[in-house]
Amino acid sequence: MLGKVDKHSGIPAYIQIMNQIRKETIMGNLKSGDQLPPVREMQKIFGVNINTVTRSLEKLSNEGLIEAQHGVGYFIMEDSSVSDKAINIIRDAVKALKNCNIDLQMSMLLLEEVWKDD
């Protein structure tokens, strides 16, 4: 689930928050229609300034992942089929890597290289 940001990672806190919410959505822990915790509660969960949480939520809202309902809170908007599709793509890639006798460590290195190139 959601947890503290790593202030020593070099990745801005607002991006870490966005990535945590994206991950929980992809993993199916947060589904379409689910309400996120209140902003002040997220401030405590992530251990950051309230403005950092708000910035993350605004960016996710602009991406269409979440929706703000005035006076109510933030809700997950992403269709679950997107996360299902992502998981299926990853499963297929893992099977292919295993068939080539490529271990997890090498897979991660290859993924990082490809990620940088894109």
pLDDT confidence of residue 20: 95
With 0.75 as the threshold, say if the pTM is over it: no
**Domain spans of the chain?**
13-78, 81-117
Checking if the pLDDT of 65 tops 80, the result is: yes
pLDDT confidence of residue 118: 64
Checking if the pLDDT of 81 tops 60, the result is: no
What is the CATH code for 13-78? 1.10.10.10
> CA-CA distance, 113 to 94, in Å (whole number)?
16
* Tokens linked to 74: 């933030």
Instruction: Identify the band that residue 59 occupies on the pLDDT scale cut at 50, 70 and 90.
Output: very high
pLDDT digits (tens, 9 = 90+) for 68-80: 999 999 999 966 5
**Half-sphere exposure (CA, 13 Å, Cβ side) for 46?**
28
Instruction: Identify the band that residue 17 occupies on the pLDDT scale cut at 50, 70 and 90.
Output: very high
Q: Which residues of 88-116 are buried (b: 16+ CB within 10 A; e: fewer)?
A: eeeeeeeeebeeeeeeeeebeeeeeeeee
